[in-house]
Amino acid sequence: MGSNWFVRPTEMSEQRINEYIEGKYGKFGVDRVWHDTAVPFKEVIQQFEAWLMQRQLWKGGSLVGAAFVTCGNWDLKTKVPQQCQVSKLKLPPYFMEWINLKDVYLNFYKRRATGMITMMKELRIPLRGSHHLGIDDTKNIARVLQHMLLDGALIQITARRNPKTPAEVNFLFNHRIR
């Protein structure tokens, strides 16, 4: 699996994809290479699972020494299940829990951060790349996470799906960003 992959929208027309790119990034904002090399979601999931197994991060139906870190709950609570449904995939079990960095930030620093930019400003971490471009956001969120670890933050799972009814999510922190 390559280190930087874009997931190709499954049920979007070429015109709608172009409108989305131009609306979000401007006509010349994002290199069209992502569009030409983006991989369908099903294929990305298959290759991601192979990558997890090669690194022994996925064993016996659960992640081992690994967790998804997000900046908010929306991506894993809402969007990934929607994309799985569109792609006619069962929600993979490794999407059953995650760490919402905003909740960890609130509980560790005792300050509310509405998003990645707020956390970066408060921690004096300069933004790299384009905000809301997935690959750049991922790298910036990792930088926030590294800073928090150096400050002594304990990083714990903040949300977990009910195994019997995966649409039901239990939030594990009393103080959290809603």
Residue with tokens 């049920």: 11
- Measured distance CA(16)–CA(18) in Å, rounded: 5
Query: DSSP labels for 98-159?
Result: EEEHHHHHHHHHS----SHHHHHHHTT----S-TT-HHHHHHHHHHHHHHHHHTTPPP---E
Residue with tokens 């990645």: 116
Mean pLDDT estimate for the chain: 86
**Res 31 pLDDT > 70:** no
Give per-residue pLDDT as tens, 9-21. 676 666 776 676 6
Q: Residue 25: which pLDDT band, with cuts at 50, 70 and 90?
A: low
**Res 7 pLDDT > 90:** no
What local confidence, expressed as pLDDT, does residue 95 receive? 95
Give per-residue pLDDT as tens, 90-99. 999 999 999 9
- Measured distance CA(147)–CA(120) in Å, rounded: 10
Structure tokens at 161: 């799906």
Name all domains of the chain by residue range, CATH numbers in brackets.
61-171 (3.30.420.10)
pLDDT: which is higher, 40 or 60: 40
Q: Residue 24: which pLDDT band, with cuts at 50, 70 and 90?
A: low
- Measured distance CA(132)–CA(30) in Å, rounded: 12
Give per-residue pLDDT as tens, 119-168. 999 999 999 987 877 778 999 999 999 999 999 999 999 999 999 999 99
- Measured distance CA(164)–CA(144) in Å, rounded: 33
Report pTM.
Answer: 0.85
Give per-residue pLDDT as tens, 71-89. 999 999 999 999 999 899 9
What local confidence, expressed as pLDDT, does residue 130 receive? 79
